[in-house]
Amino acid sequence: MSNDRAYNFSAGPSMLPLDVIERVAADLPNYKGCGESVMEMSHRSKEFTKIIEDAEADLRTLLSIPDNYKVMFLQGGATLQFAMIPMNLMTGSKKADYIVSGSWAKKAAKEAAKFGDVKIVASSEEDTFTYIPKPDKSEFRPDADYVHITFNNTIYGTHYNDYLPDTGDVPIVADMSSCILSEEVDVTKFGLIYAGAQKNVGPAGVTIVIAREDLLGKAPENIPTYMDYKIHADNGSTYNTPPCFAIYVAGEVFKSILAGGGIKPLHEADVRKAQKLYDYIDSSQLYTCPVAKEDRSLMNVVFVTGDTDLDKKFVAAAKEENMHNLNGHRSIGGMRASIYNAMPEEGVDTLIEFMKKFEAENK
């Protein structure tokens, strides 16, 4: 069965490491001999308590998360975070500054505007989000409650590589849904990091929030209980029933990354995979990558042939060769190869070979 698996280039949900899937499958009916499946287990049981505590501890190790940051496993996806962030953090001056580098950033800003005064400090929308806008310090409001950025733009294939806004004391909030665990990040540069799991961590259903402790506990009393970060932080993410199975699988992914030596070797492989794909695209006569070189993402590689019918033919022909979901986002078309941590290097090599063959046949 495992041998029949396709290379799935989906932007999310996306591939998981095969060793994790096989381990989860083996433990599915009777988790470590406890007589129950994790799918059936009480979230207050001794077994699940260990699962969630290990998941948090391993994530802390992987990202070197300092003690003054809380880790939460929540539901509602990154989309709910678009609202939870302003509900919890836009509570001082009720101002927040957003850099709009893609559709997710735009959605986050739109949601926040329901709760206070949102300033779009910079946007690359006029250039179809092909680069990361890089405003300087003077453009941010010094009294804003936070500055929001989207660290990796899944749809457009851009990423904050060398630039991070200088916001002074204003905390940076970052959506890392599609790049978390692909690189070492200095958590202390951020007030809050969030990521839906289904891109680079685990199955859909759990969202990771890493928040500096002093930013919590400032939500107004009339917000729904679930929306208050402090409730989750104070209750170890088990105030109510958490997405147990998704947390368990994410925890197995963390274990697998740790066993492989942590994020560093994974990042090196991610760089190698992305570099060879970009190098080939840049050298080819048929394909082009519209993204500014310095802002290119390691996770989502966007390219086009310049002919929408040929793009469609490419995606369909690739599917025949067991390479799935190479279509670009429905809003922009073209192609996108999402090559997250779990995409094996052979998957990228196979894709490049296919692209060469397709180029030769469609000159």
Ligand X SMILES: *Cc1c(COP(=O)(O)O)cnc(C)c1O
199 forms part of the interface with ligand X (CB under 6 A): yes
From 19-27, 73-81, 238-246, 260-268, give the range in contact with ligand X by CB under 6 A: 73-81
178 forms part of the interface with ligand X (CB under 6 A): yes
Candidate list 7, 48, 98, 104; residue touching ligand X; CB under 6 A: 104
Candidate list 8, 177, 305, 338; residue touching ligand X; CB under 6 A: 177
Residues 10-39, interacting with ligand X (CB under 6 A) = 12
Minimum CB–partner distance for residue 176 and ligand X (Å) = 8
Candidate list 13, 77, 290, 333; residue touching ligand X; CB under 6 A: 77
Annotated active-site residue 137? The verdict is no
Of 153 and 305, the one with the shorter C-beta distance to ligand X is 153
79 forms part of the interface with ligand X (CB under 6 A): yes
From 71-79, 164-172, 264-272, 352-360, give the range in contact with ligand X by CB under 6 A: 71-79
Minimum CB–partner distance for residue 132 and ligand X (Å) = 13
Closest residue to ligand X using C-beta atoms: 77
Active-site hit among 175, 228, 270, 295? 175
Q: State the number of binding residues for ligand X (CB under 6 A).
A: 12
Minimum CB–partner distance for residue 256 and ligand X (Å) = 22
Annotated active-site residue 175? The verdict is yes
Which among 321, 52, 47 has a CA at the least distance from the CA of 202?
A: 52
Of 78 and 249, the one with the shorter C-beta distance to ligand X is 78
HEC string for the chain: CHHHCCEECCCCCCCCCHHHHHHHHHCCCCHHHCCCCCCCCCCCCHHHHHHHHHHHHHHHHHHCCCCCEEEEEECCHHHHHHHHHHHHHCCCCCEEEEEECCHHHHHHHHHHCCCCEEEEEEECHHHCCCCCCCCCHHHCCCCCCEEEEECEECCCCEECCCCCCCCCCCCEEEECCCCCCCCCCCHHHCCEEEEECCCCCCCCCCEEEEEEHHHCCCCCCCCCHHHCHHHHHHCCCCCCCCCHHHHHHHHHHHHHHHHCCCHHHHHHHHHHHHHHHHHHHHHCCCCECCCCHHHECCCEEEEECCCHHHHHHHHHHHHHCCEECCECCCCCCCEEEECCCCCCHHHHHHHHHHHHHHHHHCC
- CA 52, 57, 61, 63 dihedral sign is positive
Active-site hit among 58, 70, 104, 273? 104
303 forms part of the interface with ligand X (CB under 6 A): no
Minimum CB–partner distance for residue 11 and ligand X (Å) = 7
191 forms part of the interface with ligand X (CB under 6 A): no
Of 77 and 262, the one with the shorter C-beta distance to ligand X is 77
Candidate list 196, 242, 251, 328; residue touching ligand X; CB under 6 A: 196
78 forms part of the interface with ligand X (CB under 6 A): yes
From 74-82, 88-96, 266-274, 343-351, give the range in contact with ligand X by CB under 6 A: 74-82
Active-site hit among 58, 97, 145, 199? 199
d(CA 46, CA 348): 41
Strands 146-150 and 95-100: parallel
Residues 117-176, interacting with ligand X (CB under 6 A) = 150, 154, 175
d(CA 286, CA 303): 10
Minimum CB–partner distance for residue 41 and ligand X (Å) = 24
Annotated active-site residue 199? The verdict is yes
d(CA 5, CA 8): 8
Active site residues: 104, 175, 199
Residues that bind ligand X (CB under 6 A): 12, 77-79, 104, 150, 154, 175, 177-178, 196, 199
